[in-house]
Amino acid sequence: MKIEKLMTKNVITVELDDSLRLVKKTFDNASFHHILVVEKGVLYGVISDRDLLKTISPNIDTPREKAQDTATLNKKVHQVMSRRPICAKAEQDIFAAIAIINKHNISCLPIVNEKNQPIGILTWRDILTEIEKITIERNKVKHNAHEPIFLYLRVHIGRTF
């Protein structure tokens, strides 16, 4: 199975000099945890909701919020983002992506084209969702209940673990 089958294709991006205020607003209105950072369409980094929360004041959006707390939202994305993210190509095998995610202990994998422009993003959640779908499908058909799931996945995804 190729990465392009599982990756999220509609990626949200911000630019290097965008403020954390924009990033916070984006995360507040979204159900994802990573935003790709680009400049002129080329990928330069990733910012996660955790990166944001570690940087801004915990008093934001609380009754204790003061001007100095709000000022933390004026920082720029390039000051907080993870630089030079590890990436993959859409045509790579999903098991290569799993190996990259595990080896580098990352939770998202930007998918880029030959010009290093983001065309998707793959997260561990995307992978687990696919495993869940396969497991549900597996349970709809007759199978050996004692067959380990990895053997079933090998047959249906096409590669051994």
Domain boundaries, the chain: 3-123
Q: What digits encode the pLDDT tens for the residues 105-140? A: 999 999 999 999 999 999 988 988 888 888 777 776
CA-based diameter of the chain, in Å?
63
Q: Can you give the pLDDT at residue 59?
A: 81
Q: What digits encode the pLDDT tens for the residues 39-61? A: 999 999 999 999 999 988 888 88
Q: Can you give the pLDDT at residue 133?
A: 83
User: What is each CA distance from 83 to 45, 53, 106, in whole angstroms?
Assistant: 5, 18, 13
Among 141, 133, 138, CA closest to 149: 138
Q: What digits encode the pLDDT tens for the residues 143-152? A: 555 556 556 5
Residue located via tokens 């570690």: 54
Report the chain's mean pLDDT, rounded to a whole number.
Answer: 87
Residue type (1 letter), 19: S
CA distance 151 to 144: 11
Among 160, 156, 147, 139, CA closest to 5: 156
Q: Can you give the pLDDT at residue 157?
A: 58
pTM score, whole prediction: 0.80
Mean pLDDT, residues 73-96 taken together: 94
Mean pLDDT, residues 59-85 taken together: 90
Residue 19 scores a pLDDT above 90:
yes
CA distance 47 to 68: 22
> What percent of the chain lies above the pLDDT cut of 90?
59
Residue 161 scores a pLDDT above 50:
no
Residue 159 scores a pLDDT above 60:
no
Task: Select from 1.10.3290.10, 3.10.580.10, 1.10.3720.10, 2.60.40.1760 the CATH code of 3-123.
Answer: 3.10.580.10
Residue 141 scores a pLDDT above 70:
no
